[in-house]
């Protein structure tokens, strides 16, 4: 969590942030438990010191034949041990209470983060491109997918249940193509590609800020203390957990991986087609850098720019949103979303997210570096979705459909699609 001294000095700000992020937390209770812990620890240390000195006295009394004094001393030591045992239990209780409360402490937010209660209060910063104006009867992505045999939802449901699907034929090619396009772009920008574990231990989930508040969104492996990750951000950041790293230049990592989310609480919301599914793939970029606010903000602009570059290559209209407090996660300091135009929604839908976490994750994961004076400091960490599929297939199919039912493939994507310029309309 955040530094306890800092929390104490900024208690009102921390409480306000928790309230605005919708996190049930009493900072006053946390501070009270910290007071109890410190008081109990001090009393425990004092009694231990008294016991140790008395034990030394008993040894001298025994050597000098002063048995009665030694026996009285032993009785006093037994009494001290009992009192210490009680205090140690109280100390454990206080530390446990502090740990549980501390795990709920939110990261503060940037001064320019909008205040709001939900994504409806996010603030549009810019728009790029124009939504298409169709002069024909257009189809939504599921109708297009059926026409071109790209997706099979009924058999996905038969196999795994609701919100599962099969990608088939050219649907698989598009799914893999957009990932490789994004990964190649990141490699060109200096990101080191990695293939990562898709399961993580609880400490990795806590260290990256996904537990405890996001545990209900995560699939747990039965009878094991492992979880399926909802983003490769978890293994990418945890790669350096507990280490002292060199951030003379920012560490830039990228991974293309499958992701899994239970989507608890989203019943009845965005369930049509491919928008909100349990299994998907993401190309994620993670940056670990020195703890300088201007520097990490520049990194945020950079990684957001990479995601925008992917959308431009896919020739899709989008807008950039400043995410408000009520739509932010516990761990986020500043966040941008990119929303892409989806004709079937008649609106922009979120396809990308960029976050600057400052040192929140690094504190939890214990990732540090030495500054110019040799002092150890916690790093800043950032992450961004370069592309997520199959959600990106929604605007890709819908925006590039043509009157005859064919789907134009953006030029930048064609090398990854065996040179295909379009998905031709099936012959009737």
Catalytic residue among 232, 350, 364, 398: 350
Catalytic residue among 355, 391, 398, 406: 391
Asked if residues 47 and 80 have their Cβ atoms less than 8 Å apart, the reply is: yes
CA dihedral 356, 359, 365, 369 (to 10 degrees): 120
Residues making up the chain, counted from first to last: 428
Is-catalytic flag, 391? yes
Contacts of residue 146, defined as CB under 8 A and 6 or more positions apart, other chains included, come to none
Catalytic residue among 257, 344, 353, 365: 353
Whole-number Å distance between alpha carbons of 291 and 316: 35
Crossing angle of helices 27-63/11-20, nearest 10°? 130
Cα–chain-centroid distance for residue 124? 23
Residue 52: how many other CB atoms lie within 10 Å: 12
Catalytic residue among 276, 319, 345, 408: 276
Is-catalytic flag, 350? yes
Is-catalytic flag, 38? no
Whole-number Å distance between alpha carbons of 329 and 407: 37
Helices (H), 161-281: 170-188, 202-207, 233-238
Range 390-422 burial, b when 16+ CB lie within 10 A, else e:
bbbbbbbbbbbbeeebbbebbebbeebbeebee
- Residues recognised as catalytic: 261, 276, 350, 353, 391
């Amino acid at each position: 969590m955040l530094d306890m001294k800092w929390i104490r000095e900024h208690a009102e700000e921390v409480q306000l942030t928790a309230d605005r992020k919708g996190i049930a937390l009493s900072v006053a209770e946390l501070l009270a438990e910290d007071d109890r812990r410190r008081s109990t620890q001090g009393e425990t240390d004092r009694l231990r010191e008294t016991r140790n000195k008395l034990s030394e006295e008993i040894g001298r009394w025994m050597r000098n034949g002063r048995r009665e004094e030694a026996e009285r001393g032993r009785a006093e030591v037994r009494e001290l041990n009992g009192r210490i045992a009680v205090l140690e239990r109280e100390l454990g209780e206080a530390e446990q209470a502090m740990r549980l409360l501390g795990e709920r402490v939110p990261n503060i937010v940037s001064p320019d983060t909008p205040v709001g209660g939900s994504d409806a209060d996010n603030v549009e910063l810019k728009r790029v491109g124009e939504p298409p104006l169709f002069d024909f009867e257009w189809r939504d992505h599921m109708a297009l997918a059926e026409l071109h045999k790209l997706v099979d939802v009924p058999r996905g449901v038969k196999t795994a249940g609701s919100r599962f699907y099969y990608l088939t034929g050219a649907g698989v090619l598009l799914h893999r193509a957009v990932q490789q396009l994004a990964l190649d772009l990141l490699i060109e920008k200096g990101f080191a590609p990695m293939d990562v574990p898709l399961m993580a231990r609880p400490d990795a989930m806590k260290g990256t800020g996904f537990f405890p508040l996001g545990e209900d969104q995560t699939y747990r492996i039965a009878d094991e203390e492992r979880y399926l990750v909802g983003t490769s951000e978890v293994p990418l950041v945890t790669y350096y957990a507990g280490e002292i790293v060199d951030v003379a230049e920012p560490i830039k990592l990228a991974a293309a991986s499958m992701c899994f989310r239970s989507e608890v609480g989203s019943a009845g919301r965005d369930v049509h087609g491919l928008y909100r599914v349990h299994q998907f793939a993401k190309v994620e970029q993670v940056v670990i850098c020195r703890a300088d606010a201007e520097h990490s903000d520049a990194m945020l602009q950079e990684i957001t720019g990479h995601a925008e570059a992917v959308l431009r290559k896919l020739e899709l209209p989008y807008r950039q949103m400043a995410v408000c407090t009520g739509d932010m996660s516990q761990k986020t300091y500043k966040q941008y979303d990119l929303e892409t135009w989806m004709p079937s929604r008649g609106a922009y839908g979120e396809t990308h997210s960029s976050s600057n976490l400052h040192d929140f994750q690094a504190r939890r994961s214990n990732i540090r570096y030495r500054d110019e004076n040799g002092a150890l400091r916690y790093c800043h960490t950032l992450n961004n979705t370069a592309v997520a599929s199959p959600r990106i297939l929604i605007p890709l199919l819908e925006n590039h459909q043509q009157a005859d039912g064919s789907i134009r493939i953006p030029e930048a994507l064609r090398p990854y699609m065996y040179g295909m310029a379009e998905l031709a309309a099936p012959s009737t």
